[in-house]
Structure 1
Amino acid sequence: MHSDVLARRALLKSAACGFGGLALAGLAGKSASAATSPYQARPTLFPARAKRVIFIFMQGGPSHVDTFDYKPRLAEEHGKKLAFKDARKLAKTGMSGNEQVMMSPWKFKQYGECGRWASELFPSIAQHVDDLCFVHSLHTNGVAHGPSTIFLHTGTTNFVRPSMGAWISYGLGNENENLPSFVTINPSLGNGGPRNYGNAFLPAHYQGTTVGRAGQPARDARIQFITNDSVPLSEQKRQLELLSSINADQLARRSHDDELSAVVNSYEMAFRMQMHAPEITDISKETKATQDLYGIGVKETDEFGQQCLLARRISEAGCRFVQVSYADNTANPRWDQHSKIQLHATHAQATDRPVAGLLADLKARGLLEDTLVWWGGEFGRNPFTQGADGRDHNPKGFTHFFAGGGMKPGFSYGATDEFGHEAVVDKMHMHDVHATILHALGLDHEKLTYRHAGRDFRLTDVEGRVVKDLFI
């Protein structure tokens, strides 16, 4: 065979390498292909209500019936044994199906002009109910922390799929090319760990950048090795230029090597970040009044207050998706009170003022209008006891709240039954949550796809619907 004739095997090999690029070009009507950099901002499919998301992850499953889903029937039936559908099947251990109803240890009252109910666990967040959009009818897949946490972040429990932040980065690119488009602050190493901020089969550019890790003091939550004080900046720039020329030669011969391309881009991003990231992650530059707003300097709230303030600074600088996690690396995560539900008070005290401070700060800066704040855990908890004074996991009905990003303020959507055991009115699955958040960002969850292993994948798989009733 002549050397200038392309063998069939070589043709198939070369053509197949381009399929990932074709899938990327297909996003948003092929508009994404116009981007000269994987970090460049991309147009939305339709006008977006939000430019960015801050997800406040409450690891372990806060009890909705003790926080924001008021159920007076629990007090009326307290101590009685009643039949609850599927209680035995869904519970981890010790359930018979006839379970003892347990009232909330905390009092509820109505707040704001909208009159939304909140327990005394969250007195600071309760002052912002007129800005909040509550969803009381959530349900999800998975009864254990691992599967439900992975499902919350990736939309699946049994495959390695891209995380939501990676999908958003892939769909929208960056607002600021000097920063990653997806940052996760102090993520947990357990219950999925890196899968919860990974890119899976999406191009490696879109994986989350970690700032700190769960269990690490917030003051140490920084991007590691972001500066190099031992080498002058001019020398670093010269080194980068030499390295870039070598990498360009490599890429010319391996143009479809995703990992190599990601490494090359990461070098260039890292150099730009040296100029910007240290200042952005330095919360000491904030005024004392702002730090006080988040509870920084107060023993109970200092740690999570620093994380929430850091999230605001990173988001304000142009990051598309910022996650801040109230999390640890233990077998039983923080909100996981199978016994002693009273410990919810400790976690509420640690997070209430920082979250309220974040809401107030965003609103004062005019950022809440186009920043979607999302608060919640992987599931809720049961309205009956586990042991003497605990509650087991409940994926059948629970509450999240949203703020900003075009969501209706002072609004309540859906409902659980009179005990809070199961979503019964306007049920909203976690796939629907993902579809609705993508819609707020100007993305169609059915068109945000990537072809892998012979099929098109998306965050919502083959399900999900946009709940337009949540929007103004």
Structure 2
Amino acid sequence: MNPFFEHRAGLTRRHFFRRSALGIGSFALGSLLNPSLFARNGMVDPELPHFAPRAKRVIYLFQNGAPSHVDLFDYKPKLRAWHGRQIPDELINGKRFSTMTGKQVNRPVLSEITQFAQHGQSGAWVSDFLPHIASISDELCFVKSMYTEQVNHAPAITYFLTGSEMPGRPSMGAWLTYGLGSSSDNLPAFVVMTSRDKERSCGQIFYDYYWGSGFLPTKFQGVKFRGGGDPILYLSNPPGMSRKMRRDLLDGLEQMNEINLQEYGDPEINTRIAQYEMAYKMQMSVPELTDFSGEPQYILDMYGPDVLKKGSYAYNCLMARRLVERGVRFVQCMHAGWDQHKNLNHQLKIQCQDTDAPTAALIKDLKQRGLLEDTLVIWGGEFGRTPFLQGRIEEFDVWGRDHHPYVFTIFMAGAGVKPGMSYGSSDEFGFNPAENKVHVHDFQATVMHLLGIDHERFTFKHQGRHYRLTDVHGHLVKGILA
């Protein structure tokens, strides 16, 4: 006999009724203690969305390590005029930096190492290291007055992705899939992919809590696709197991888990059931998803020469487009390599070559398929880089910049944001915001607004407190809304 059914047969009639009674009571109690337990599609608020959304899905192109805003998007002629001179002390006064320049006595201004030009009808300033992004500048909304409060990578990334500097809170993708549910039957609602620079010069670590569910049910955490082999571990059946055998196995597991669910009312058992079922469905959907043979050659060429290399940024960008057109709600592509402390004059160009064409291709690809109008694309890192040099101005071969949280640039495109504009600005050194400051929580509130969510109303009660992505902060950035 099938061992799963042997387990069920071992229940006596009296045992069955006793457990059933307890199970019903536990089930009812669980629904009282956690009303969202049985909400439709796992949604915490049946009123979501709170208002008509402009975006249905998000692709977040997170650039780990922090791209240098003053070399790529924030043109500051003052830096060239002051190159090699000590940056004004009043800018430095009271500011925190990483341990690499925190005790540095001299902080000489470092001019941009690229050439800037204005592009498109919007006249956006973009570095010559990013010609493809420059070519679509009229599609982009640059936010040049972003700021944060963290000077180190992991806390700053965690802040952007979870609303808290400390690990343990739900990530943005988890919040959104929890609130809005899934529009795909055979793929996860939240998918994560990671990549690194070709030279692997950056030691950045991709922590699982960057896409974790925190205190939300684990069903809503991001599913990470691997860069080699099967995208998901154990996607293929082991030798000797047919698809029917796997189906029978899952059916048996589901029945055992249902018994446990009725007995204990633990929502994590529901998660386990859902994950097993999704894994089975992905056996059919993922091979088709990752098969690029049907893509026209001009599309592959647009994404660049690395597009067929699994685990590359170009490959992940094309995968992001294929995922959202199949109903995935939130795609998080994380690319490490921008942490250029002492190799800016060498590594920045390489990093731009890796990411420039695929980023522009993704936005153009979405637009030509009619997907950009309800897909929000976000590009940016956890902070910027200092307008002054890390090290000595005489060391021409090892120029670099330290972490700079006080002002930096990100850009967005697509659903609900104004194209062809720059919002906010920094001072003449690119050191502090000059107008229209945008905090991390303001950014998060605006992303949620575009998805039809009022960030102040969308909460989850945990340990006696109502939590939200924006904590107790955040204001809508109305100036970028179309």
TM-score tier by shorter-chain length is 0.7 to 0.9
State the TM-score, normalizing by the size of structure 1: 0.87
CA distance in 2, matches of 1:318, 1:39: 20
* Aligned pairs (5 A) from 1:238-257: 238-255=248-265, 257=266
What residue in structure 2 maps to residue 162 of structure 1? 170
CA distance in 1, matches of 2:382, 2:374: 25
What residue in structure 2 maps to residue 148 of structure 1? 156
1:97 to partner: Cα distance: 6.6
1:57 to partner: Cα distance: 0.9
Secondary structure of the structure 1 residue equivalent to 2:96: helix
What residue in structure 2 maps to residue 55 of structure 1? 60
Q: Which sits farther off after the overlay, 437-446 or 287-296? A: 287-296
Computing the radius of gyration over CA atoms, which structure comes out larger, 1 or 2?
2
> Which of residues 126, 141, 161 is equivalent to 1:118?
126
CA distance in 2, matches of 1:75, 1:158: 38
Matching of residue 406 in structure 1 with residue 416 in structure 2: yes
- The AA in structure 1 aligned to 2:427 is D
1:187 to partner: Cα distance: 6.7
CA distance in 1, matches of 2:252, 2:221: 26
- The AA in structure 1 aligned to 2:249 is Q
State the TM-score, normalizing by the size of structure 2: 0.86
What residue in structure 2 maps to residue 107 of structure 1? 115
> Which of residues 58, 79, 92 is equivalent to 1:85?
92
* Aligned pairs (5 A) from 1:408-447: 408-447=418-457
Describe the superposition over 1:317-364 as per-residue Cα deviations: whole angstroms up to 9, x where unpaired: 11111011112xxxxxx1111113112111001100111111111111
> Which of residues 383, 390, 403 is equivalent to 2:387?
383
Q: Which sits farther off after the overlay, 179-188 or 421-430? A: 179-188
- The AA in structure 2 aligned to 1:162 is P
Secondary structure of the structure 1 residue equivalent to 2:412: strand
Secondary structure of the structure 1 residue equivalent to 2:121: coil
Secondary structure of the structure 2 residue equivalent to 1:184: strand
1:42 to partner: Cα distance: 8.1
Q: Which sits farther off after the overlay, 273-282 or 135-144? A: 273-282
Matching of residue 338 in structure 1 with residue 351 in structure 2: no
What residue in structure 1 maps to residue 50 of structure 2? 45
What residue in structure 2 maps to residue 348 of structure 1? 352
CA distance in 2, matches of 1:237, 1:14: 27
What residue in structure 2 maps to residue 72 of structure 1? 77
What residue in structure 1 maps to residue 272 of structure 2? 263
> Which of residues 364, 371, 374 is equivalent to 2:375?
371
Closer, same or farther: CA 96–309 of 1 in aligned 2, 3 Å: same
Closer, same or farther: CA 220–81 of 1 in aligned 2, 3 Å: same
Closer, same or farther: CA 296–20 of 1 in aligned 2, 3 Å: farther
1:285 to partner: Cα distance: 3.3
Secondary structure of the structure 2 residue equivalent to 1:61: coil
Judge conservation of contact 2:43–2:179 (CA < 8 Å) in 1.
Answer: no
1:224 to partner: Cα distance: 2.0
Judge conservation of contact 2:441–2:474 (CA < 8 Å) in 1.
Answer: yes
Q: Percent same amino acid at aligned positions?
A: 42
> Which of residues 205, 209, 225 is equivalent to 2:219?
205
Describe the superposition over 1:153-180 as per-residue Cα deviations: whole angstroms up to 9, x where unpaired: 1111135111111001111110112111
Structure 2, unaligned runs of 5 or more: 1-24, 197-202, 393-398
CA distance in 2, matches of 1:407, 1:133: 7
Secondary structure of the structure 1 residue equivalent to 2:452: coil
Spell out structure 1 runs of 4+ moving beyond 6 A.
12-16, 38-42, 298-302
> Which of residues 322, 346, 352 is equivalent to 2:331?
322
Structure 1, unaligned runs of 5 or more: 1-11, 26-32, 213-217, 328-333
- The AA in structure 2 aligned to 1:267 is Y
> Which of residues 195, 207, 210 is equivalent to 1:193?
207
Judge conservation of contact 1:338–1:387 (CA < 8 Å) in 2.
Answer: no
Closer, same or farther: CA 121–369 of 1 in aligned 2, 3 Å: same
Closer, same or farther: CA 244–340 of 1 in aligned 2, 3 Å: closer
Q: Which sits farther off after the overlay, 306-315 or 36-45? A: 36-45
What residue in structure 2 maps to residue 236 of structure 1? 246
Secondary structure of the structure 2 residue equivalent to 1:99: coil
> Which of residues 17, 22, 34 is equivalent to 1:21?
34
What residue in structure 2 maps to residue 30 of structure 1? none
1:268 to partner: Cα distance: 1.4
Secondary structure of the structure 1 residue equivalent to 2:372: coil
Please give the root-mean-square deviation of Cα atoms over the aligned residues, in Å.
Answer: 2.7
Judge conservation of contact 1:301–1:350 (CA < 8 Å) in 2.
Answer: no
1:265 to partner: Cα distance: 1.2
- The AA in structure 2 aligned to 1:466 is L
CA distance in 2, matches of 1:369, 1:120: 28
- The AA in structure 2 aligned to 1:170 is Y
Closer, same or farther: CA 58–37 of 1 in aligned 2, 3 Å: closer
CA distance in 1, matches of 2:173, 2:448: 10
Secondary structure of the structure 2 residue equivalent to 1:434: helix
Judge conservation of contact 2:55–2:451 (CA < 8 Å) in 1.
Answer: yes
